[in-house]
């Protein structure tokens, strides 16, 4: 029996171990640990990588989402109580951020095949209070941004991106742009730090400046506080680590895409449903490889017994979380029936994925899934 971990950082450590240790040592020697030269260098590099004018490093992905929305409120582009369309099958942080900004999440069903926002449902989900769409590039797959942006333009809505799982995913139309995108650099992300970290990336320099101020106690200069802010800053250690890893991101994503192609071609089990590879293969960076099975829990145990580690993303959709009990009746959340989101939560299982996987491990995972009956 082979043991296949869900995710391993071994490949990164083998490839970059010396460089990461050197980066850490350089920060120690600099004696400057917050908002220094490494953070500035990473912000410049990641903005360039994303093809954007500005990047602001923050403490984590949730803060990136929250500050992006709060900055829009400070600039008068949103008002507290406005509605924001959000896909119903997302990690809870997406909904938490909208609520933390004083906005109302409107949960919309995903496309059953792609698991990202079903843009055909946008019109029916809007009300006179709807002011923005927050798309989630779930599992690393870009949402249908052309359709989202076209709808938003026609209805005067802002567009924001939760790109926490989609570092390096590319559109065919590079000029197509949202108002801003939020990233997480949690260690297991495609581009991960050695702790928490996040960023807001945008072409809107005014928005970027407000995000930066909000994350630094609301100050526009030292001890001058224009906004009611928080403490959310990307520290120098994490920035240095990310700066060392960034040049490898595309090659690591390419390895993920190769593994996904093998999975899609070789997993042949009538009990298992897969998501399709998009026509533009670069628009999916496979942070997670999901499979769907009505007997999901049995499948997970079967794979565990064969040494294959799996996870579930996510077992409880946001609208069924205890944290939001009563939110619908209080007007703090809006949604209708969500059978697709609930089906995905009931049937999803994430199988091993990442650049550390060997050919033998990929083959073993495929054989194990095909053996399930």
Domain's final residue, options 197, 220, 246: 246
Q: Say if residue 36 is in the same domain as residue 83.
A: yes
Q: Is there a domain that residue 207 lies in?
A: yes
Q: Considering the domain boundaries, does residue 2 fall inside one? A: no
Q: Which of 246, 273, 292 is the last residue of a domain?
A: 246
Q: Is residue 1 assigned to a domain?
A: no
Tell me, what CATH number does 354's domain have? 3.90.1150.10
What pLDDT, on the 0 to 100 scale, is given for residue 9? 87
| Cα-Cα-Cα-Cα dihedral sign, residues 357, 12, 51, 211 | positive
Task: Specify whether 202 is located in the same domain as 327.
Answer: no
**326 is in which domain, residue-wise?**
248-370
Say how many domains are in the chain: 2
Residue 312's pLDDT is 99
Answer yes or no: is 237 within a domain: yes
CATH number at residue 88: 3.40.640.10
- Residue 167: both structure tokens together: 């570092």
Residue 5 in any domain: the answer is no
Residues of the chain with pLDDT under 70: 174-175
Do both 134 and 233 map to the same domain?
yes
Can you name the residues that pair with 180 across neighbouring β-strands? 160
Q: What is the mean pLDDT of the chain?
A: 97
| Predicted structure pTM score | 0.97
């Amino acid at each position: 029996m082979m043991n296949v971990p869900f995710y391993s950082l071994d490949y990164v450590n083998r490839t970059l171990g010396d460089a990461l240790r050197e980066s850490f040592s350089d920060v120690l020697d600099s004696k400057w640990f917050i908002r220094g030269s490494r953070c500035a260098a990473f912000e410049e590099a990641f903005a360039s990588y994303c093809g954007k004018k500005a990047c602001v490093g923050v403490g984590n992905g949730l803060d990136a989402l929250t500050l992006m929305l709060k900055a829009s409120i400070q600039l008068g582009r949103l008002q507290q109580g406005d509605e924001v369309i959000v896909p119903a099958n997302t990690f809870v942080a997406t909904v938490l951020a909208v609520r933390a900004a004083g906005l109302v999440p409107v949960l919309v069903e995903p496309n059953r095949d792609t698991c990202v926002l079903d843009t055909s449902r946008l019109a029916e989900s809007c009300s006179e209070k709807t002011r923005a769409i927050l798309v989630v590039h779930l599992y690393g797959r870009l949402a249908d941004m052309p359709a989202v942006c076209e709808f938003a333009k026609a209805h005067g809505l802002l567009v924001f991106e939760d790109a926490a799982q989609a570092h390096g995913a590319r559109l065919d139309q590079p000029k197509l742009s949202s108002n801003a995108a939020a990233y997480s650099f949690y260690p297991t992300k495609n581009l991960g730090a050695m702790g928490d970290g996040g960023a807001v990336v945008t072409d809107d320099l005014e928005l970027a400046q407000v995000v930066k101020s909000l994350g630094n106690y609301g100050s526009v200069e030292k001890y001058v506080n224009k906004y009611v802010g928080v403490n959310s800053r990307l520290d120098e250690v994490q920035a240095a680590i990310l700066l060392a890893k960034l040049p490898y991101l595309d090659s690591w994503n390419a390895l993920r895409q190769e593994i996904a192609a093998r999975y899609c071609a070789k997993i042949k089990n009538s009990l298992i449903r897969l998501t399709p590879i998009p026509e533009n293969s670069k628009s999916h960076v496979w942070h997670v490889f999901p499979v769907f099975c009505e007997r999901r829990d049995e499948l997970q145990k079967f794979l565990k017994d064969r040494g294959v580690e799996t996870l579930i993303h996510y077992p409880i959709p946001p609208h069924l979380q205890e944290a939001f009990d009563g939110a619908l009746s209080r007007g703090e959340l809006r949604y209708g029936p969500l059978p697709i989101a609930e089906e995905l939560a009931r049937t999803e299982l994430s199988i091993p994925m990442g650049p550390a996987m060997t050919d033998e491990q990929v083959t073993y995972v495929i054989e194990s899934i095909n053996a399930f009956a």
